[in-house]
Structure 1
Amino acid sequence: MIPHFRKAIGVLPALAVAACLGTTSLVLALGCLPASAAEKPIRPEKNPPGDIPDTQVFIDYTSPEGFTLKVPEGWARSDRADGASFVDKLDGVVVSVSRANAAPTVDSAKADYVAKLEAAGRAVRVSAVKQVKLPAGAAIRIVYTSNSEPNAVTNRQVRLENERYLYFKDGKLVALELYAPKGADNVDQWQLMSNSFRWK
Structure 2
Amino acid sequence: MTLAMALGAMGAFFPAIGAQSAAAAEKAVPMEKNPPGDIPDSQVFIDYASPLGFTMKVPEGWARSDHADGASFIDKLDGVIVSASKADAAPTVESVKATSVPELEKAERAVKVTAVKQVKLPAGSAIRIVYTSNSEPNAVTNKQIRLENERYLYFKDGKLVTLELYAPKGADNVDQWQLMSNSFKWK
User: If the length of structure 2 is used for normalisation, what is the TM-score?
Assistant: 0.93
Gaps of 5+ in 1: 21-31
Q: Distance in 1 between matches of 2:29 and 2:120?
A: 33
Counterparts in 2 of 1:91-130, with a 5 A limit?
91-130=78-117
Partner in structure 1 of residue 186 of structure 2:
199
The equivalent residue for 2:23 is: 35
CA distance in 2, matches of 1:3, 1:100: 19
Q: Give the 3 Å change call, closer, same or farther, for CA 142–3 of structure 1 in structure 2.
A: farther
Quick one: percent identity of the two aligned structures? Answer: 75
Supply the AA of the counterpart residue of 2:23.
A
Q: Quote the offset at 1:59 in angstroms.
A: 0.1
Match of 1:85 in 2: 72
Query: Cα gap change, 1:3/1:102 in structure 2, threshold over 3 Å: closer, same or farther?
Result: farther
CA contact (8 A) 1:106 1:129 kept: yes
5+ residue gaps, structure 2: none
The answer to which structure has the higher strand fraction is: 2
Against the structure 1 CA distance between its residues 72 and 158, is the aligned structure 2 distance closer, same or farther, given a 3 Å change threshold?
same
Deviation, structure 1 residue 156: 1.0
CA RMSD of superposed structures (Å): 1.4
CA distance in 1, matches of 2:95, 2:127: 10
1:146-175 CA-to-partner distances (Å, cap 9, x unmatched) read 000011111111000000000001111000
Residue 88 of structure 1: how far off its partner (Å): 0.3
Of 4, 14, 23, which residue of structure 2 is paired with 1:10?
A: 14
Q: Counterpart of 1:70?
A: 57
**What residue number does 1:180 align with?**
167
SS of the residue 2:109 aligns to: coil
1:34 and 1:120 in contact (8 A); partners too: no
Residues 108-138 of structure 1, C-alpha deviation per residue, up to 9 Å, x if partnerless?
A: 0011111111110000000000000000000
One-letter amino acid matched to 2:36: P
Secondary structure, counterpart of 2:21 in structure 1:
coil
SS of 1:149's partner is: coil
SS in 2 for 1:113: helix
Matches within 5 A, 1:138-149: 138-149=125-136
Q: Residue 160 of structure 1 contacts residue 180 of structure 1 at CA under 8 Å; is this kept in 2? A: yes
- Aligned to 1:124, the other structure's residue is in SS state strand
How many positions carry a matched residue from both structures? 182
